[in-house]
Amino acid sequence: MDLQGYSMWAYIKHSDGRTEEREFPAGVCIEIGDILEDGSVVIDVPYPDGIEDDIEFSDLYDD
């Protein structure tokens, strides 16, 4: 499975307390705790439904 071809979703919390689910384009890597350009913070990064249990993630990391 080529994860680079899929967009990424994350739950974001704004400084005023509002939360939203935001989509990021393919190739963007977002982690919990990241602070975005608008000052909001990533509070959750759910796994996509399409990830298989037997997928190998070794291709995602550079050696």
The pLDDT tens digits along the chain (63 residues) read 445 567 888 999 999 999 999 998 888 888 999 999 999 999 998 875 555 555 565 555 555
- What DSSP designation does 39 have? S
- pTM over 0.75? The answer is no
Residue type, 11: Y
Contact 22, 53 (CB under 8 A): no
